[in-house]
Amino acid sequence: MKNFKIKPKEIDSSDCIIHIGQKIEEGKIVEMGEPIKLHENEWVKVLPVITIKESLALGTFRNSSEEGELSVAMDSICESLAKRVVDWNWTGIDGDPLAKPYKNSEVFKELYNEELLWLITATMGETESEQKKELSPLQNTSLTQQGQ
């Protein structure tokens, strides 16, 4: 793997879930469907940084309902992920390895919605497994150490 100036962070993908048979009506989930852990015991390696361009694209993605804006934002997000997701051992629903993600924005466009949303969350350090690893903000500060 390439030698990056910032060390990539390996993230367990076991909490990446897609729902089979999910029903959405008028933009709302009316039936959750069956949860499937598609990437159990798999991982991604990400550069834990985000660009202004990606931040703006994420804002557009969250707040826009216009198809053209959403398409441009999604392209921008996939391009950014291709620069930050530097490796993975993900497999598809057929069990075959997916194409490597680094500098390959097209691979992200072939993912299921929930996979892409999980990756966006993971690259921002907000997945369930990542949150469990993080210390609370006061656990490792000089304020808490003073009382020892």
How high is the pLDDT of residue 130? 52
Flag whether pLDDT at 133 surpasses 70. no
Interval 83-93: pLDDT, tens: 999 999 999 99
Per-domain boundaries in the chain:
36-127
Report the C-alpha gap between 17 and 77 in whole angstroms: 20
Flag whether pLDDT at 135 surpasses 60. no
Report the C-alpha gap between 118 and 136 in whole angstroms: 22
Q: Using N-to-C axis directions, what is the helix angle for 52-63 and 67-84, rounded to 10°?
A: 140
Least confident of 5-9, 33-37, 71-75: 71-75
